Chain A
Amino acid sequence: MQFWIIQFLNSLALGGLLFLLSSGFSLIFGLMRLANLTHGAFFMVGAYIGASLLRQRVVGMDLWLAALLAGIALAALGGLLERLVLRRLAGNSLGQVLVTLGVAFILSDACLLVWGGDPIPVPTPRALARPIFFAGLAFPTYRLVVIVVSVVVAVGLHALLERTRIGAMIRAGVDDMPIARAVGIRVSRLFTAVFCLGAGLAGAAGVLGGPIFSAYPGLDADMLPLALIVVILGGVGSLAGAFVGSFIIGAIYTFGSTLFPDLAYFILFLPMIVVIAYRPEGLFGRIAA
């Protein structure tokens, strides 16, 4: 029983982190038709920033403050990337793929240069390190907190997208870009805003994922495919799709790698293949991936 509870919470925590990562990825893809392959690197840079901040005993940095700072740093980095580089590649899918992948390599190497090749464990905040005991079973507190945070962010993003004028403008842009421009929506500003938001969420997710994954070289390449699968499964540009897809993939990945370690990747990609074959627009999407 304890085993299943731990695995279940692990899968939900992974799902929550995947949601923080893939919601931005999905919005960027849906609005800008841009598969931002730098997204995994944003997560990793966030994890390293978090590791550096949290390990400084002198400052005694709070986890939430670290996540906020990493989020702001990555949002700024993402904004620069969008304004200075990606903007010039509008409509050029191959160019976008190559450039975002190239920037991912650059960031990855930069991390190696700054933080070295050894994994940096990130301490779980002391207040959250002790499990909660309930009905004679132990529940890892930090996992529970990550799950709650991801749900809170999901609710916040939903409110932003569904309840505000800016959110309606973003959806209008996803729905019909040329007409959105023709009714006066400044899509270029929306692009930057959404890109910053997505990059910031990925960076903050990296910090929150630190105590679970640590910060290590290759974290970016481990996370990016998961985000891709989530978005293909859930549907491009759909927040609900990213949410449901994240928890499905979180569960498949966690249970798959525990119960059938040899088949973990196969089990992971299987639902994606089924979705592409039978419902190319994803579970909640409107655009074929």
Chain B
Amino acid sequence: MASDALAIEGLNAWYGDSHVLQDVSFRLRDGEILALLGRNGAGKSTCVMSLMGLVARRAGDVRLFGESVARLAPETISRRGIGLVPQGRRIFSTLTVRENLLVAKLPPRAGRAAWNIERIYDLFPRLRERERQLAGSMSGGEQQMLAIGRALMGNPRVLLLDEPSEGLAPLIVAEVGRTIARLKSEGQSIVLVEQNLRVALDLADSAVILTTGRCVYAGSIEDVRDNEALIAQNLGVFGGH
């Protein structure tokens, strides 16, 4: 039986007075991809930022392979093994590509091949070509690759990907999709926030759907694919944008 990589129990988060995440619970099994779905403003990014410890006011429990990380600081959560690819990429634009990777390097974890800059360059050869370039001068697709590479440098046990295909050309979306599939094949556990439902359906093993900060579905991805009412009600038009 697969163990839980991530177990979230009754997660709540607030921005000021607005209660944007209400009692969200779900589990991500080790080595699987969980798609976190929902419309704009449903609370997906807030959920991801809360898991990373980046939302100041939050409550509930988050266990990473059984160990609670809910009350830790972001840098500690990162060191315990949650890696973040934030929405909008947020690469360090004034640093070079190489420096972006270098600053995010954390010690390897037992039992898994450690990521290093060379392996990231093998995964995204484009980054090797642009190694000395300022990250902010790259295209959106290249920045997305860098954001993924940067998160991998921390050897995460769970990778949080927040809208990795947002604003990218279809060819690049496909490349990002292949990368995610490859990471999964190497045993990487992933939480994937995605507006592009097709990408999510292709990649994920299970799904969680949020609507106005509440969890309205948690289960297999197949049931989402076949449930047009669920999609129409909570995700808008099939296929996303």
Question: Is A179 in contact with B154, judged by CB distance below 8 angstroms?
Answer: no
Question: Is A165 in contact with B102, judged by CB distance below 8 angstroms?
Answer: yes
- A-B contacts, 10 listed (Cβ < 8 Å): A169-B103, A171-B95, A175-B92, A175-B93, A179-B86, A179-B90, A181-B54, A182-B84, A183-B104, A187-B75
Question: Is A181 in contact with B93, judged by CB distance below 8 angstroms?
Answer: no
Given contacts A172-B100, A176-B90, A186-B75, 10 further A-B contacts (CB under 8 A): A165-B102, A180-B92, A181-B73, A181-B74, A183-B103, A184-B75, A184-B78, A184-B106, A187-B75, A188-B75
Chain B positions within 8 Å of A89 at CB level:
none
Question: Is A168 in contact with B52, judged by CB distance below 8 angstroms?
Answer: no
Among B220-236, those with CB < 8 Å from A are: none
Question: Is B92 in contact with A185, judged by CB distance below 8 angstroms?
Answer: no
Q: Is A279 an interface residue (CB 8 A)?
A: no
Cα distance A128–B38 when bound, in Å?
Answer: 72
Chain A positions within 8 Å of B4 at CB level:
none
Cα distance A187–B52 when bound, in Å?
Answer: 15
Work out how many contacts link A and B, with CB atoms closer than 8 A.
68
Q: Is B6 an interface residue (CB 8 A)?
A: no
- Main SS class of interface, A: helix
Chain B positions within 8 Å of A172 at CB level:
92, 95, 99-100, 103
Q: Is A33 an interface residue (CB 8 A)?
A: no
Q: Is A178 an interface residue (CB 8 A)?
A: yes
Among B100-153, those with CB < 8 Å from A are: 100, 102-104, 106, 150-151, 153
How many residues of chain A get a CB closer than 8 Å to chain B's CBs?
20
State whether A178 and B74 are in contact (beta carbons under 8 Å apart), knowing that A165-B103, A168-B99, A183-B104 are contacts in the complex. yes
Min CB–CB distance A210 → chain B (angstroms) = 36
Question: Is B95 in contact with A183, judged by CB distance below 8 angstroms?
Answer: no
How many residues of chain B get a CB closer than 8 Å to chain A's CBs?
27
Chain A positions within 8 Å of B150 at CB level:
183
Question: Is B95 in contact with A168, judged by CB distance below 8 angstroms?
Answer: yes
Chain A positions within 8 Å of B151 at CB level:
183
Q: Is B94 an interface residue (CB 8 A)?
A: yes
Question: Is B78 in contact with A181, judged by CB distance below 8 angstroms?
Answer: yes
Question: Is B74 in contact with A171, judged by CB distance below 8 angstroms?
Answer: no
State whether A176 and B103 are in contact (beta carbons under 8 Å apart), knowing that A182-B52, A183-B150 are contacts in the complex. no
Chain B positions within 8 Å of A179 at CB level:
84, 86, 90, 92
Q: Is B39 an interface residue (CB 8 A)?
A: no
Min CB–CB distance B216 → chain A (angstroms) = 28
Chain A positions within 8 Å of B83 at CB level:
183
Cα distance A162–B106 when bound, in Å?
Answer: 20
Q: Pick the contact of B54 from A178, A185, A186, A187 — CB < 8 Å?
A: A178
Question: Is B95 in contact with A181, judged by CB distance below 8 angstroms?
Answer: no
Cα distance A142–B151 when bound, in Å?
Answer: 51
Min CB–CB distance B106 → chain A (angstroms) = 5
Chain B positions within 8 Å of A168 at CB level:
95, 99, 102-103
Q: Is B29 an interface residue (CB 8 A)?
A: no
Cα distance A169–B94 when bound, in Å?
Answer: 11
State whether A184 and B73 are in contact (beta carbons under 8 Å apart), knowing that A172-B95, A175-B94 are contacts in the complex. no
Q: Is B184 an interface residue (CB 8 A)?
A: no
Question: Is B94 in contact with A171, judged by CB distance below 8 angstroms?
Answer: yes
Cα distance A179–B151 when bound, in Å?
Answer: 10
Cα distance A25–B92 when bound, in Å?
Answer: 22
Chain B positions within 8 Å of A165 at CB level:
102-103
The proximity string for A residues 158-180 relative to B, scoring 1 for CB distances below 8 Å and 0 otherwise, is 00000001001101101110111
Chain B positions within 8 Å of A174 at CB level:
94
Question: Is A183 in contact with B78, judged by CB distance below 8 angstroms?
Answer: yes
Q: Is B214 an interface residue (CB 8 A)?
A: no
Chain A positions within 8 Å of B78 at CB level:
181-184
Min CB–CB distance A95 → chain B (angstroms) = 17
Q: Is B63 an interface residue (CB 8 A)?
A: no
Cα distance A172–B100 when bound, in Å?
Answer: 8
Min CB–CB distance A29 → chain B (angstroms) = 16
Chain B positions within 8 Å of A183 at CB level:
78, 83-84, 103-104, 150-151, 153-154
Question: Is B104 in contact with A184, judged by CB distance below 8 angstroms?
Answer: yes
Min CB–CB distance A86 → chain B (angstroms) = 17
